Chains A and B, each alone.
Chain A
């Protein structure tokens, strides 16, 4: 049973435009949500997180939105840059123990 879902395996965006990556979850008990970025041959790197008591968190070009009623979160990257091309994983946790990942979305930013 996939508790965290990323339904788009890939996304292609032009440089300078907005990238929107989506993630859905099924467990309403999750209290923290995170986004990780992964380049080939490297481990995932932590990007941004949001607590379930908030609906938005911003860090530079990256903003995460949380819609608890829809059990949906999204990552916005504005403006997108070629260096943002990577696989993005969303993840969720409950009580700081297990971190459950989605299947990932491959973002390609083209010139």
Chain B
């Protein structure tokens, strides 16, 4: 089954403790992206990647890092999480960039206390 898999689905952590949210897709897509969803703000892009070793900032990249060492994986790293990073996170992938429509994962709900 073609899918984007994120782990974990739920995570509660403390301020300053580094964490990684993993994302993997099995569709051989070039494009991958991370979004966060917050009430009243919709989905905002954090980082995106056009291919292996090619990444760029989205609209809200502060406090996040990404890497794209393999085509299928695109982890999101929070080096020092803060409470304002409490959010619902989605990873997505596409074969044609944003014009082709992204396939989204099921989301990761992160709470930073």
Contacts and interface: CB of A to CB of B under 8 A. Distances in A.
B22 interface: no
B51 interface: no
Contacts of A4: 42
A46 B103 CA distance: 7
Interface in B70-90: 90
A43 B106 contact: yes
B57 to A, nearest CB: 9
Contact of A98 (B40, B42, B98, B104): B98
Interface of B: 4, 31, 33, 35, 40-45, 48, 50, 56, 58-59, 90, 92, 96-107
Interface of A: 4, 6, 31-32, 34, 36, 41-46, 49, 51, 89, 91, 93, 96-104
